[in-house]
Amino acid sequence: MKNNNLKKLIFIAFSIVIFFIACKDKESFYDNNYAITSLFACGSTGNPNDIPTTKLIFTVNDDNLVLTANDIKINADFSVIKGDLKKNTAMTYELHITPGSYGTIRVGLNPYQGFTGWNAKDAYVYSDWHFSGTSNLTITGCHYSIVVNPLTIPPTIANLPVTKIGANAFYYKNLSSVTIPESVTSIETSAFKGNKLTTITIPKNVIYLSGFNNNMLSSINIPAGVLTIGSYAFSNNLLNSIIIPGSVTYIDIYAFSDNLLSSIIIPESVTYIDSYAFSNNPLTSITIGAEVDLGTSAFGNGFEEAYTNNQKLTGIYTRPNTNSKTWTKN
């Protein structure tokens, strides 16, 4: 009996020792003084003023550390995509990055990977293409030094697809030509506002189309597949004819206002045309389907009243001239 009790005591004592060792190991793992002690951001030539910034070179305070890119935490007001991490010397590393804008970022050892404290260092970074997102990217602008004609927007950045051109991305950049990649599915409001575009090729994969207001476009080819033509999409251009594909269901406010359209065919797929979408055009012929909801002065010049008085029937509505507000259903 005494031997059994002794064995139990030895087992309990051994378990307590193991427990304290484990706790001590865990404590040492999470309670450490590891830190980044210096940080340097630069471009491909090693110059901190290079555009774009392509890498961070930093030093840690312990040569026993073996870090991965996940061990590095970056705080920024814009997207920063991390790439490969390479160990250059015992305590010096090189992290490849693609910043989504320009400004100060804070870099430290990631507390979620077991490093205590933030101990962050600051670095100033530059980008050529400005973007948001971490998987599908939205172009939000670019550095002034790469705004050239023709402007070619990349299909990928850091091997991630560019799927959207953001609102005001290329606002008043004096562009006369732009190439948009096939990867883009959405072009947001005023994306190319106030340029000198005379022609534009819109990718076939776009489903939301806007952004070309205040240019010099005389014609456009809207690809089949577009679902929504957004607000101010083509307002204040020189359009004298357009073909709206049968995929479009919604035309937003001022989409085609202030152009030179004398006739328009609205496909039967369209269910709603918002306010002033076709205002200030010399329209004398409108072909439209049945039961389309119209916002305030969607076409103007009395058309909305004529359409309603005809029970919103499908047909071709005409007026004798641009001074007339009398529309007749044919």
**pLDDT, tens digit, 9 for 90 and up, residues 40-66:** 999 999 998 889 999 999 999 999 899
Residue 1 scores a pLDDT above 90: no
256-271 mean pLDDT: 98
Among 6-20, 206-220, 256-270, the minimum mean pLDDT is found in 6-20
Q: Total structural domains in the chain?
A: 1
pLDDT of the residue at 24:
45
CA 314 to the chain's CA centroid:
38
Tell me, yes or no, whether 31 lies in a domain. Answer: no
The Cα–Cα gap between 217 and 204 comes to 19
What is the β-pairing status of strands 103-109 and 72-75? antiparallel
φ/ψ (deg, to 5) at 20: -70, -35
How long a stretch of residues is the chain? 330
> Two tokens at 292?
């389309």
Mean model confidence pLDDT for the chain? 92
Tell me, yes or no, whether 49 lies in a domain. Answer: yes
Tell me, yes or no, whether 230 lies in a domain. Answer: no
Report which DSSP code applies to 247. Answer: T
Q: Which residues contact 45 (CB under 8 A, 6 or more apart)?
A: none
Tell me, yes or no, whether 70 lies in a domain. Answer: yes
What confidence tens digit (pLDDT) does each residue in 90-130 have?
Answer: 999 999 999 999 999 999 999 999 898 788 999 999 999 99
Confidence of residue 6 (pLDDT cuts 50, 70, 90): low
Report which DSSP code applies to 329. Answer: E
The Cα–Cα gap between 94 and 91 comes to 10
Tell me, yes or no, whether 103 lies in a domain. Answer: yes
Local structure of 229: helix, strand or coil = strand
Q: What is the dihedral of CA 62, 65, 68, 72, to 10 degrees?
A: -30
Local structure of 170: helix, strand or coil = coil
Cβ contacts of 233-238, under 8 Å, gap ≥ 24: 233/189, 233/209, 234/259, 235/259, 237/212, 237/213
**Which residue range forms the structural domain that includes residue 106?**
36-125
Residue with tokens 């948009």, as numbered in its chain: 180
Q: Around Cβ 139, how many Cβ atoms within 10 Å? A: 27
Amino acid at 201: T
Q: Which residues contact 57 (CB under 8 A, 6 or more apart)?
A: 39, 40, 41, 42, 88, 92, 93, 94, 95
> Two tokens at 209?
């189309």
Tell me, yes or no, whether 148 lies in a domain. Answer: no
pLDDT of the residue at 33:
85
Distances 317 to 283, 298, 307 between C-alpha atoms, Å: 10, 14, 8
Tell me, yes or no, whether 82 lies in a domain. Answer: yes
Among 29-33, 122-126, 259-263, 289-293, the minimum mean pLDDT is found in 29-33
Q: Supply the CATH number for residue 102's domain.
A: 2.60.40
DSSP code per residue over 119-144: --EEEEE--SEEEE-SSSEEEEEE-G
Tell me, yes or no, whether 67 lies in a domain. Answer: yes
pLDDT of the residue at 126:
96
